[in-house]
Amino acid sequence: MTEFDPEKFEAKYVHYFEELESAYTAAYQELHGEVDSGILRPIDRRVLSGSEPFYEGDGEFRVELPDDPYERAGQPGDREQFEAVLDDLVAGIERELRTEFGFTDAAEE
């Protein structure tokens, strides 16, 4: 677990790149094999590559997505299914960030 400094999170890619990468990877792996890879993979490669995590305070994180994620991903599959997978993945990233920075215990999640 990394000691978290909210001020350093402003320059997150300098100070916390490994932790961010770990959170994104863990959230992806959690869904890999559980959801349609034809939807999960384009979300990972085309949507999350343009996402931006933010620290909201009180141990909470928010992942901001680029505009029109469904179109950006190439409209893979059913839009409703796409949005459900995207929501699950974003929630997973936010949860993993809380865990990575010690705001929750992995067993609590």
Residues 108 and 76: their CA atoms lie apart, in Å, by 33
| pLDDT tens-place string over residues 41-82 | 999 999 999 999 999 999 999 999 999 999 999 999 899 999
Domain boundaries, the chain: 8-100
Residue 109 reports pLDDT greater than 60 = no
Strand, helix or coil at 54?
A: strand
How confident is the model at residue 1, as a pLDDT?
A: 62
Q: Which residues contact 18 (CB under 8 A, 6 or more apart)?
A: none
Residues 9 and 80: their CA atoms lie apart, in Å, by 33
The tokens for 56 are 């909201």
| pTM of the shown model | 0.91
